[in-house]
Chains A and B, each alone.
Chain A
């Protein structure tokens, strides 16, 4: 799913680069609000014993909840990176690997998940040349926007129907791969790399199978992390 340089024309790559930069900026703001809380930083509060000079000097700082979120984010990002290295074989001499967008969003929320995926893509492009650098924006839009944020909102919609959590996340995990592959096919079509209809058909038919792998791995990892680490799923109502 990682588009290499050369597959997209420069116009498409630039437009998606701009869209991705906006998305990452937005996500950084959302996550900053999530990991910080308004109040007196612990160090300052201690220093102000008996002195009322701190009144009205409340500022945003990273508390215990923020620290634990950041450490969770570090672990999920490295887990997604590690698991993406596993290429599982599917039919016709093809392989697939986990995208992990929904997995990250389930524990970090859509914005933290998107940042986590962006980090993975950034490391893959700079260190390994896995996914081109010029088309990094396209890969971020496909896997961090469609594969993570959009899929997570799809999961929330499914939850509203009253289906069991594991069923909702399985469907959403499968759909996340299809969504990312649809976006990828559109970009290839827009670039005039190949006819849009054929690319759409081929991409979706391969990724419908790869999506089953995503579904199984996501289900296993979510169940393991909830039980082993005692992590709760991200509460989007908070």
Chain B
């Protein structure tokens, strides 16, 4: 029961994060910009940010859904690990 509450809270955090998140650069990006090496960084290309998920844009809802999928992947991997260990 408690576990369900925590999962609910986690999903709530993921779904709301993109609406409250600041779009300002993070600490490292800020420093890279200030010192002038930001352009050295390559734009990351993950499975969910490239053409595989063309339906996902950069609006908050897409970010939330992407985050939700991330949580599901993490929980899926852990459930597989647990199954393998306790078979």
| B55 in the interface (beta carbon within 8 A) | no
Whether B20 and A7, one on each chain, are in contact in the complex, defined by CB atoms closer than 8 angstroms, is no
Whether A96 and B44, one on each chain, are in contact in the complex, defined by CB atoms closer than 8 angstroms, is no
Q: How many A-B residue pairs have CB under 8 A?
A: 176
Whether B82 and A2, one on each chain, are in contact in the complex, defined by CB atoms closer than 8 angstroms, is no
A210 CB contacts on chain B under 8 angstroms: 26-27
B81 CB contacts on chain A under 8 angstroms: 70
Given contacts A82-B13, A87-B21, A229-B2, contact A119 B27 (CB under 8 A): no
Whether A85 and B30, one on each chain, are in contact in the complex, defined by CB atoms closer than 8 angstroms, is no
Whether B22 and A203, one on each chain, are in contact in the complex, defined by CB atoms closer than 8 angstroms, is no
Q: Is the interface of A mostly helix, strand, loop or mixed?
A: helix
| A88 in the interface (beta carbon within 8 A) | yes
Whether B44 and A123, one on each chain, are in contact in the complex, defined by CB atoms closer than 8 angstroms, is no
Whether A131 and B47, one on each chain, are in contact in the complex, defined by CB atoms closer than 8 angstroms, is no
Whether B28 and A88, one on each chain, are in contact in the complex, defined by CB atoms closer than 8 angstroms, is no
Size band of the interface chain B makes with A? 35 or more
| A6 in the interface (beta carbon within 8 A) | yes
A160 to B30, CA, bound (A): 37
- With both beta carbons as reference points, the residue of chain B lying nearest to A198 in the complex is identified as B35
| A184 in the interface (beta carbon within 8 A) | yes
Whether A4 and B46, one on each chain, are in contact in the complex, defined by CB atoms closer than 8 angstroms, is no
Provide a sorted-by-A list of 14 A–B residue pairs whose CB atoms are within 8 angstroms.
Answer: A1-B28, A35-B85, A70-B81, A77-B74, A77-B78, A79-B10, A79-B13, A82-B71, A85-B63, A86-B17, A87-B22, A94-B26, A120-B74, A202-B35
